[in-house]
C-alpha cells in the first residue's frame, strides 16, 4: 500500500526551540511536498523536494530518497509557526495526485 | 499577482441536492487539482486537470465530477449530496505539467467549506 506516515501527530514547543517533524513514505512517490495549514483551512506550500536539502528562512527540509524519509526542521520556533504541517507525495508520476500524511499539529508557546 | 481563488468560501446544502464549486488558478497556471479534507480521512485527492483534460481521478464515487475550461478555471460538482460530503474542498494550481524541482510547485486556494445538512 502506498502511503505517507508522519510523526509526531502533535507537538508542543516553547518559543525558540528547534523543531523536527518526520515523514516516511512508501514506494511510488517520486518527490515530497511539505505544506502548512493554519486554522481556517488555507494551505501554503512550503517546499517540494526530490533530493537533498532546501532552506527558506527558518525552515529547512531534507529528504533521503534511499531511506524514503524526509524531515522538516524549524529553527528558533515562534508562536506564529503554530499550524498543522502536512507532508505529501505525488503518486504514479502525476503531479496533482498527492498522497497526504495525517499532519502534525504544532503549537509553539510564548 | 492574484492567488488561487475559490468560490464560494462557505456553502450549506441539504442532502440530495447538488453543488458546484469553482476554482480560478493563478494566471498562466494550466494544472488544477482538487482535494477533499475531512477530520476523519484528512486530505484526499479528487481530480487533476491539465489543459481541459482530466489526467487523474482519485478514489471517489461517480457523484463527484469536474471539468476545466479553456481559461484554466475549473469546477467540481457533487450530485446527490450526502452528510459525509461535508468537508473543506481545496484546489491547487501549478504552471508545471510534470513534477518540478522548484521549491514552490503548488499554490493552494483558501478552500470552500461545504456543510451538508
Q: Which residue has the cell 456553502?
A: B11
pLDDT for B99 equals 45
Given a cut of 50, whether residue A68 has pLDDT beyond it is: yes
Instruction: From residue A44, give the alpha-carbon distance in Å to each of A33, B19, B29, B63.
Output: 10, 26, 17, 29
Residues in A closer than 8 angstroms to B29, CB to CB, are none
For residues B10, B13, B19 and B21, what is the CA-based torsion angle, rounded to 10 degrees?
0
The pLDDT value recorded for residue B111 is 94
Chain A residues in contact with B55 (beta carbon < 8 A): 94, 96
For range A83-96, the mean pLDDT: 82
What pLDDT band is residue B1 in, cutting at 50, 70 and 90? low
Say if residues B81 and B18 touch (Cβ distance below 8 Å). Answer: yes
CB contact (8 A) between residue B43 and residue A86: yes
By residue count, chain A amounts to 110
Question: pLDDT (tens digit, 9 = 90+) per residue, A7-50?
Answer: 999 999 999 999 999 999 886 677 889 999 988 778 998 988 88
Amino acid at each position: 500500500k502506498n502511503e505517507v506516515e508522519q510523526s509526531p501527530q502533535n507537538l508542543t514547543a516553547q518559543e525558540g526551540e528547534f523543531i523536527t517533524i518526520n515523514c516516511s513514505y512508501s514506494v511510488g512517490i517520486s518527490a515530497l511536498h511539505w505544506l502548512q495549514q493554519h486554522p481556517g483551512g488555507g494551505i501554503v506550500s512550503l517546499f517540494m523536494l526530490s533530493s537533498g536539502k532546501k532552506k527558506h528562512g527558518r525552515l529547512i527540509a531534507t529528504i533521503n530518497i534511499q531511506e524514503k524519509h524526509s524531515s522538516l526542521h524549524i529553527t528558533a520556533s515562534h508562536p506564529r509557526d503554530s499550524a498543522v504541517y502536512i507532508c505529501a507525495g505525488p503518486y504514479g508520476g502525476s503531479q496533482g495526485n498527492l498522497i497526504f500524511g495525517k499532519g502534525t499539529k504544532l503549537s509553539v508557546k510564548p | 499577482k492574484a492567488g488561487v481563488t475559490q468560490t464560494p468560501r462557505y456553502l450549506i446544502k441539504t442532502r440530495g441536492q447538488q453543488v458546484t464549486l469553482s476554482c480560478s488558478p493563478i494566471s498562466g497556471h494550466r494544472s488544477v487539482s482538487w482535494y477533499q479534507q475531512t477530520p476523519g480521512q484528512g486530505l484526499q485527492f479528487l481530480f487533476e486537470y491539465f489543459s481541459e483534460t482530466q489526467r487523474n481521478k482519485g478514489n471517489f464515487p461517480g457523484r463527484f465530477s469536474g471539468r476545466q475550461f479553456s481559461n484554466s478555471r475549473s469546477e467540481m460538482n457533487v450530485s446527490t449530496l450526502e452528510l459525509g460530503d461535508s468537508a473543506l474542498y481545496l484546489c491547487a494550481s501549478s504552471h508545471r505539467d510534470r513534477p518540478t524541482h522548484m521549491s514552490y510547485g503548488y499554490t493552494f486556494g483558501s478552500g470552500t467549506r461545504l456543510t451538508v445538512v
